[in-house]
Structure formats: structure tokens, C-alpha cells
Amino acid sequence: MLEVSGLYAGYDRLEVLRGVDVTVAAGRLVAVVGANGAGKTTLLRAVSGLLRPSAGSVRVDGDDVTGSSAERIAARGLAHVPENRLVFPSLSVEDNLLLGGWTRRKDSKQDLAQRHDLVMELFPRLQDRLQLNAGALSGGEQQMLAIGRGLMARPRVLILDEPSLGLAPRVVGEIIAALARLRSEQDIAILLVEQNVRAAFRVADHVLVMDRGAVQLEGTPGELETDERVRAAYLGGSVAAKAVPGAVEQPEHSNPAESADLPAPRA
């Protein structure tokens, strides 16, 4: 479980987060949406130890990791898949995966092999590319590798920053379907920052709408889909986009992630 309470963080004298609360239970997926500059990436950086919070707390399975180093938080069971994939391009796909399991290097070979098998099940296209350098993969394959590398650490909490960014709709559908399987089958707490709001709504159990460093709205996807402010800002609704400050209206469009055969969110 991930518990974030009253979190404040920023850069130098610029305060970005203002009292953010997030709870993600095991086997649940919480999505965070919002306009550029809303504080979404800053939230993930503060949670994972890449940015030291100025106030508030972060707990992973009850352990207080507030202000700890990224290495210590990773060792406690949190894996952060950052924006723009950031794989090791000169290393093979296999070596990237093995590096992902470094914090669990004392685990048995059987445990490591089971996690490797899980990654191959989720992203079968990586199976034939294990010996290729990661830099030779397509953008979508690199994103799959980045997620797989995070899973090799056997995380209890998985946080992802814009995994669909710059990817073709078909690949977005594959990644969203993989996250749905993880949520339903692995009992991992997943915190997903995503600008593809329709895809996020399709897979999330709960959604937070951030603006100006704070959570402005939250609810289930079904509840937020009927909110006129959310429809206007993110789902191509009928009222003015300015109903949610800072948001940009998105046109209606078809996305394979909407029709993918995804497990239903847990009640």
C-alpha cells in the first residue's frame, strides 16, 4: 500500500505541491490526471525520493520513507518508471531487466526467473529481442522494457509517469492492458500519471484530478465521466474547458485502449 499525506514539495523557492493526499491499496490502480504543470511529475518524484518533500509523509506498506533516498525507497518496495522511458540504450534488453532486479539480488534464482517470466507474459514482443541493445527498440518496446525493468524488483508499489507519451494508440492499448493485468493478478498498488485521460479512466479504480499542485477533484472513473467540468476539460464535453482551471480541452477520438479486453476495476 502507498499512503501519501499532506505532501508539500517544490524546487528551490518554488512550491509545486500543496498538501496532496493519495492512498493506493494493493490490487488497486489510482490514476492522476491534469494539465501540464499541475504537479503530477513532481508528486511522483517526491514519492520515490528523487525530490525531498518539505512537509507531509510518504508510507510504503506502513513504513515511513519520507525524505529517504531513492535507493532506500526502492529497497522498501517502490518502483518508479519515469517519463521518457530512460532505458540503458547500450545494454541488451536482458541486461536492462537484470539491472531492474538489482535491489532483489539476494532473492533466489527461481524468484528472479518467475519475475522474468511475468514480464515476458505481459510484453511478449520483448521475448525475441532479449539480446538486442535497448536503443534499437521502438519507443513502445522501450516503454514495455522500462515497465518490465521496474517489475523485476518485485515492487509492492509501482508508480508510472506518462507511459503512453508519444506512442501509437495500438501500443497504448497493449500497455494499458498489461497494467490492468498487474492490478488484477499481482496485488501491486499502482499509481499512474497519465495524460491520455480516456485510457486512464479505462483502467483506473480511482482518479485524482490535479491542478496547481493540489487535488481539485477525485472519484471513480464513472463518477468523473459525468462531471461536466471533467468532460469539458478532458473528454470533449459540451461546456467550456475553463471549468477546470489550467486544463486543455481534448477532442473526441477513438482509442484502442477504450475497447481493449481489460479486467474490470475491483469493487
Residue 224 lies in a domain: no
pLDDT band for position 105 (cuts 50, 70, 90): low
The per-residue pLDDT for 187 is 87
Contact predicate 176/262, CB 8 Å: yes
Residue 8 lies in a domain: no
**CA distances for 39 relative to 98, 113, 163, 255, angstroms:** 32, 37, 17, 26
DSSP β-bridge partners for residue 110: none
> Which are the contacts of 105, defined by CB distance < 8 A and separation ≥ 6?
none
> Which one has a higher pLDDT value, 129 or 262?
129
The per-residue pLDDT for 250 is 37
**CA distances for 256 relative to 198, 222, 231, 263, angstroms:** 10, 19, 20, 15
pLDDT band for position 236 (cuts 50, 70, 90): low
The per-residue pLDDT for 251 is 34
Distance CA 119, CA 101 (A): 12
The per-residue pLDDT for 144 is 95
pLDDT digits (tens, 9 = 90+) for 200-225: 999 999 999 999 999 999 999 999 98
Residue 129 lies in a domain: yes
Average pLDDT over residues 239-266: 41
Residue 104 lies in a domain: yes
Distance CA 219, CA 107 (A): 38
Please give the residue range of the domain that contains residue 94.
85-154
pLDDT digits (tens, 9 = 90+) for 117-158: 999 999 999 999 999 999 999 999 999 999 999 999 999 999
Distance from first CA to last CA of the chain, Å, rounded?
A: 17
Which of the listed ranges 47-56, 182-191, 226-235 does the model predict with the highest average pLDDT? 47-56
Residue 259 lies in a domain: no
Neighbours of 164 (CB within 10 A): 23
pLDDT digits (tens, 9 = 90+) for 62-78: 999 999 999 999 989 99
Residue 99 lies in a domain: yes
pLDDT digits (tens, 9 = 90+) for 22-37: 999 999 999 999 988 8
The per-residue pLDDT for 237 is 53
Cell numbers representing residue 142 in the block: 522501450
Residue 138 lies in a domain: yes
pLDDT band for position 112 (cuts 50, 70, 90): confident
Give the β-pairing of 63-64 and 55-60: antiparallel
The per-residue pLDDT for 247 is 41
Total structural domains within the chain: 1
pLDDT band for position 13 (cuts 50, 70, 90): confident
Torsion of CA 119, 150, 208, 164, to 10 degrees: -60
Average pLDDT over residues 40-49: 96
The per-residue pLDDT for 242 is 39
Contact predicate 87/145, CB 8 Å: yes
The per-residue pLDDT for 266 is 52
Residue 120 lies in a domain: yes
The per-residue pLDDT for 230 is 86
